[in-house]
């Protein structure tokens, strides 16, 4: 069984609550499924869950180079140099990243309101990037964007391994 779940902001990618943060247990997911990968508490979007250990390993293994696409609202205006650096790969403290597919895009038309809302500053512009990576390091997209001077204000995972978030509201799930 494979489940596509739209993880809301401030929800953990585990079933148990931890402190003031809620886990996945409150969303009526089938028993016996586990997250195939993680999505940070402050990130939103597609989280795949499965009861198949081999499938979970295949989705999460760095060797399979599973593509993951994100939409990132960043603070600032991306320069051509910043976008080129993200595309070429960034050297982070834990080593160089693989090249990424990156494009500046309009705000997604499927975007839902975030709770809490993103704080907007009148004097600082923001922009949206669509990034596809084939790694899954801890907070990788956030760290890559920060490295080129574009702090992430909102991060939404759109797709993993060919499965996309299409027509799933935050907190909703479906079998795929």
Q: Report the catalytic residues.
A: 40
Euclidean distance between CA atoms 135 and 70, whole angstroms: 12
| Secondary structure letter of residue 149 according to DSSP | T
DSSP three-state, residue 98: coil
Q: At what angle do helices 80-88 and 140-147 cross, to 10 degrees?
A: 140
**In this structure, are strands 101-105 and 2-7 parallel, antiparallel, or unpaired?**
unpaired
**In this structure, are strands 44-50 and 2-7 parallel, antiparallel, or unpaired?**
antiparallel
- The CA-based dihedral angle spanning residues 29, 174, 117, 20, taken in that order and rounded to the nearest 10 degrees: 10
**In this structure, are strands 44-50 and 34-35 parallel, antiparallel, or unpaired?**
antiparallel
């Amino acid at each position: 069984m494979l489940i596509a779940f739209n993880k809301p902001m401030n929800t953990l990618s585990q079933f148990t609550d931890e402190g003031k943060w809620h886990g996945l247990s409150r969303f009526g997911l089938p028993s016996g499924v586990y997250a195939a990968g993680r999505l940070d508490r402050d990130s939103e979007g597609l989280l795949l869950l499965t009861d198949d250990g081999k499938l979970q390993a295949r989705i999460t293994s760095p060797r399979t180079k599973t593509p993951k696409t994100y939409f990132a609202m960043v603070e600032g205006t991306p320069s051509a140099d910043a976008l080129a650096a993200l595309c070429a790969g960034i050297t982070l403290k834990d080593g160089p990243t693989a090249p990424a597919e990156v494009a500046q895009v309009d705000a997604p038309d499927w975007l839902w309101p975030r709770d809490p809302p993103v704080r907007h500053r009148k004097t600082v512009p923001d922009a949206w990037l669509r990034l596809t990576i084939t790694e899954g390091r801890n907070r990788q997209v956030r760290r890559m964007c920060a490295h080129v001077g574009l702090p992430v204000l909102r991060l939404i995972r759109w797709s993993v391994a060919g499965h996309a978030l299409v027509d799933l509201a935050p907190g909703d799930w479906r079998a795929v």
